[in-house]
Structure 1
Amino acid sequence: MDDLLSNVLDAYGGLDRWNAFNELAVKSATGGPFWASKGIPENHGWGNVTIRTAQEWTSISPYDAPDHRMTFTPERVVIEDFDHRLVQELSDPRAAFAGYGEHAYWDIPRRAYFNGYALWTYLATPFLLALPGVQAQEAAPWYEDGEVWRVLQVVLPDSLASHSSEQRFYFGPDYLLRRQDYHLDVSGKARVAHYVSDHAEVQGLRFPTRRHAYARGVDDEPDRNRLLVWIRFTDFRLR
């Protein structure tokens, strides 16, 4: 394991502690102009999000209707009512984005796929970087906000759904995540610089509670005038 990744995992409470739990549940709210570009109301109220720690699986309720929930895996997205009656589903969801550009509208199952993999990625970071098949290697440092940030260049396996297979994770002197860069493959490969802050400690593990994603230039500098998405997390529960 890369030395930087080892220190990062320790700073977040340790891989053994993370693996001792089966699920993480949080309340989440999000907004920002990105959603409007997909034909989705810009501000979403608080929802209940649950992820599994050992596999890429996300559930959100309510979802799109007061009595609906959605369940995501990389292979399939299901939306059902609280009596488990199927409402909508999407199999092989990644392939469903073929030909979808940066300004293409999304239907509900496509939005559910995006929400599912994105929230799992955010809530499982940095521990997902230790999963089998993930390649993580330290790259050149980055200077921002008066700090030297150490950088992990990451390549994710095809079995993990995420924004893009290649991503960069930036860590401060305390080994806590500051920023994550990726291309939004499901939206015309838009370049994104995604910032995290306000870590909370929960049952010995640490999680950022605030996220802001900005458009990123070819020089990797963020365009602070182009906020795409904001996210808030609260009420963390591990079980």
Structure 2
Amino acid sequence: MSELRDLVLNAHGVTRWKSARTIEGNMSITGLLWARKGWPDALKQVRVTADTESQRVYYQPFTNPDWRSVYGLEAVAIETSDGKSIKSRVNPCASFQGHAVETAWDDLHLAYFSGYAIWNYLNTPFLFVLPGFKTEEIEPWDEHGESRRRLKVTFPDSVATHCPEQVFHINSEGLISRLDYSAVVTGGVPIAHYASEYKDFDGVRIATKRRAYRRRADGTAITEGVVVAIDIADIRFS
């Protein structure tokens, strides 16, 4: 544990999050990654439902107006809006073996990546209290005239995420303003992912604007092209 970790948890609203079981939100997800993988507009206007206690996510619509995706750690599926199975894949992470940056995805690859990624984003930093997580404050980072504290987080194998070790930049309010990672299933490209325009939704502060860029070896972002853009219109906890 670390003092910085607890500061971040409290700033984002950990007490309210602990009482919730699901997070629902309307959002639009676009960017160069989806186009490169063959799905430029698949997540442009979607409703996402994510569990807080288990790694489970639904996107609707998903590649068809009447379909939804179902993400789980052990399997992903596509089904009709009334729950009829269309296709599924067990051990979905293994299906990315041998992929390169330019490798196209099928719809179940899309369901897996989009599922675990948004589950992480919506449940961070609250994930850090789960068993197996390790947090450590590291040296600060100066960017745009601001010095930010940084938290290095090591994820356990039981949580699907971009990579085992990630670095979170913390602003003066205790909110996550940036996270650095290299997503293994997309080819391991270093990414600087910015989170901004926080809003309070029923006691939990959520970044409603996210922009991910390629990251140079010196840690600076290449802002000419947006790899992933996420715009969240609303969030509900239940």
SS at match of 1:133: coil
- The equivalent of 1:18 in structure 2 is 17
* Structure 1: distance between partners of 2:25 and 2:218: 35
* Structure 2: distance between partners of 1:185 and 1:61: 25
Q: CA deviation at 1:226?
A: 2.9
Q: Which amino acid aligns with 1:11?
A: A
SS at match of 1:225: coil
SS at match of 1:45: coil
* Structure 2: distance between partners of 1:130 and 1:101: 33
- The equivalent of 1:135 in structure 2 is 134
Q: Which amino acid aligns with 1:6?
A: D
Q: Which amino acid aligns with 2:99?
A: Y
Report if aligned partners of 1:32, 1:43 keep a CA contact under 8 Å in 2: no
* Structure 1: distance between partners of 2:130 and 2:156: 10
1:10-33 deviation line (CA, Å, top 9, x unaligned) = 1112x2321101111001101111
- The correspondence of residues 113-124 of structure 1 with structure 2, limited to 5 A, is 113-124=112-123
Report if aligned partners of 2:43, 2:62 keep a CA contact under 8 Å in 1: no
Report if aligned partners of 2:42, 2:63 keep a CA contact under 8 Å in 1: no
Report if aligned partners of 1:155, 1:167 keep a CA contact under 8 Å in 2: yes
- The equivalent of 2:7 in structure 1 is 7
* Structure 2: distance between partners of 1:59 and 1:93: 16
- The equivalent of 2:87 in structure 1 is 88
SS at match of 1:182: strand
Please list every run of 5 or more consecutive structure 2 residues that lacks an aligned counterpart in the other structure: none
Please list every run of 5 or more consecutive structure 1 residues that lacks an aligned counterpart in the other structure: none
- The equivalent of 2:48 in structure 1 is 49
Report if aligned partners of 1:49, 1:61 keep a CA contact under 8 Å in 2: yes
1:76-107 deviation line (CA, Å, top 9, x unaligned) = 10111123221111110111100001010000
Q: Which amino acid aligns with 2:142?
A: Y
- The correspondence of residues 1-239 of structure 1 with structure 2, limited to 5 A, is 1-13=1-13, 15-42=14-41, 44-239=43-238
Q: Which amino acid aligns with 1:193?
A: A
* Structure 2: distance between partners of 1:150 and 1:51: 29
SS at match of 1:227: coil
Report if aligned partners of 2:170, 2:176 keep a CA contact under 8 Å in 1: yes
Query: What TM-score do the two structures reach when normalised by structure 2?
Result: 0.97
* Structure 1: distance between partners of 2:74 and 2:110: 15
Report if aligned partners of 1:47, 1:60 keep a CA contact under 8 Å in 2: yes
> Are the structure 2 counterparts of residues 187 and 45 from structure 1 closer, same or farther at C-alpha, using a change threshold of 3 Å?
closer
Report if aligned partners of 1:33, 1:227 keep a CA contact under 8 Å in 2: yes
* Structure 2: distance between partners of 1:212 and 1:44: 15
SS at match of 1:5: helix
> Are the structure 2 counterparts of residues 105 and 86 from structure 1 closer, same or farther at C-alpha, using a change threshold of 3 Å?
same
Q: CA deviation at 1:210?
A: 0.2
Runs ≥4 residues deviating over 6 A: none
Q: Which amino acid aligns with 2:21?
A: N
Query: What TM-score do the two structures reach when normalised by structure 1?
Result: 0.97
Percent identity between the two aligned chains: 37
User: RMSD over aligned Cα, in angstroms?
Assistant: 1.1
Report if aligned partners of 1:34, 1:42 keep a CA contact under 8 Å in 2: no
